[in-house]
Amino acid sequence: MSKTNRTRVPEGVEAYHLKACRSHNGGRCNCTPSYRAKVTGPNGRVVSPRFPTIAAARNWRTDTLHTVNAGTFVQPTALAVREAAAEFIEGAKAGHILSNRGEPYSPSTVRDYEGDMERYVLPTLGHKRLSEVRRGDVQRLVDTLVEHGLKGSTVRNALDPLRRIFTRAVQRELIPFSPCQNLDVPRATGTRDRIATPAETATLIAALEIGDRALWATLFYAGLRMGEARALRCRDVDAGANVLRVSRSWDDKEGVQDRGKSKAATREVAIIGELRPFLMAHMLATGRRGEDLIFGRTVTDALTRSTVRTNALRAWRKAKLAPITPHECRHTYGSMLAAAGIDVGERQRQIGHSSSAMTDRYTHGFDGSIADAGARLQLWLDEQRAKATG
């Protein structure tokens, strides 16, 4: 008796043995058979993909019969995951494929997507047709990545482009449903929520070389992303209105980007009293004006991220201070705004987030209009300074 004869094969599923298997001659099965599930579509065409297990074949047939009965059946596509990924990346690079917010992807995000797909997803799923990938396949990929020690945030980032690819395929009726739904994915856990108190912020800035202080003060007291600060031009500083106009970012490979991370990233930020002296002194000392980059190596070339970080770490190590990252400076700024009593809507505008939920993630606990937000933040900082010295 063959393995298949001993294992009950459900209706609509057939076992396929290797050519050399003894079962073809009535003997005992000596191979590992695959299983073909058959469904007749509404157009009368039979769809019969193969699966490695009976369970996978049975589950596919059950799901597909449901789509046939519901009138949502889609003829399986021959497009492979690798091909769909290449199409997605090229479309995102060209700006034809947009994010969930309906905005073009930034060059750095596209590079991250491309790297994550090549590193984590395509080696396992790249050869499969889109219509062959099951939720169990994606879940096994997730489990494997976790077993290999990847953090929850890394696993989630690796799944992001795959989710977008399958969502697009569903929208274009290439597949009936996405296998990336209802997955058991580890929570994103990280340590990027360190913030500095007002006193610590002032100490960290003071420990830097004079030429580096204005940049870090801008990160701490205006909450700019590093790419935004690197692309900041002198004409973006409205000294009369005490406002920074943020509308560009700097990409390491593509250079200046005349749009922010999202529509919300284009904004005006209050120049508070803590920041103004650093900015004015820096521009005066460098003699830069107009279209010149405020913090560039030259008036047209942005600072290198690694150089900024290396110089800061060296100074803080010498001063025996706990280092902080540019992203954590944004957390610090968001937390200062919250502690000053500024409502979440204005905090969202000042930080440049597209959602208040993201802004809440940037708010951690300490023991109106742009001008009002700046004034209230400055008042709170003055109070904190008075308490520290009182």
CA distance readout (Å), 216 to 220, 230, 243, 326? 6, 11, 17, 8
Residue 182 placed within a domain? no
Residue 355 placed within a domain? yes
Q: Which residue is listed with tokens 């889109």?
A: 130
**pLDDT for the residue numbered 76:** 74
Q: Which residue is listed with tokens 């395929």?
A: 169
Measured torsion, CA atoms of residues 325, 326, 329, 333, in degrees rounded to the nearest 10 = -160
d(CA 110, CA 220): 28
**pLDDT for the residue numbered 4:** 45
DSSP 151: -
Residue 210 placed within a domain? yes
Same domain, 45 and 20: yes
What is the domain range of residue 148?
81-171
Same domain, 232 and 379: yes
| All residues at 6 or more sequence positions from 143 whose CB lies less than 8 Å from its CB, including other chains | none
Same domain, 96 and 54: no
d(CA 16, CA 60): 17
For residue 108, give the CATH number of its domain: 1.10.150
User: Residues 135-167: pLDDT tens digits?
Assistant: 999 999 999 999 999 999 899 999 999 999 999
**pLDDT for the residue numbered 369:** 57
Same domain, 9 and 133: no
**pLDDT for the residue numbered 5:** 46
Residue 148 placed within a domain? yes
Cβ atoms of residues 236 and 246 within 8 Å: yes
Q: Given CA atoms 283, 287, 289, 295 in this order, what sign does their dihedral have?
A: negative
Residue 186 placed within a domain? no
**pLDDT for the residue numbered 361:** 52
Q: To the nearest whole number, what is the mean pLDDT of the chain?
A: 87
For the record, the structure tokens of 380 come out as 């709170």
* 10-residue stretch averages of pLDDT, the chain, 390 residues long: 57 90 88 90 81 87 86 82 97 92 88 96 95 92 95 93 95 88 83 81 97 97 94 95 92 81 74 96 95 93 92 97 94 90 84 58 53 83 84
For the chain, what is the domain count? 3
For the record, the structure tokens of 288 come out as 């830069």
User: Residues 253-298: pLDDT tens digits?
Assistant: 888 887 655 565 789 999 999 999 999 999 999 999 999 999 999 9
**pLDDT for the residue numbered 2:** 42
Same domain, 155 and 300: no
Same domain, 162 and 219: no
d(CA 346, CA 273): 19
For the record, the structure tokens of 352 come out as 């440049």
**DSSP state letters, 153-198:** HHHHHHHHHHHHHHHHHHHTTSSSS-TTSS---PPP--STT----H
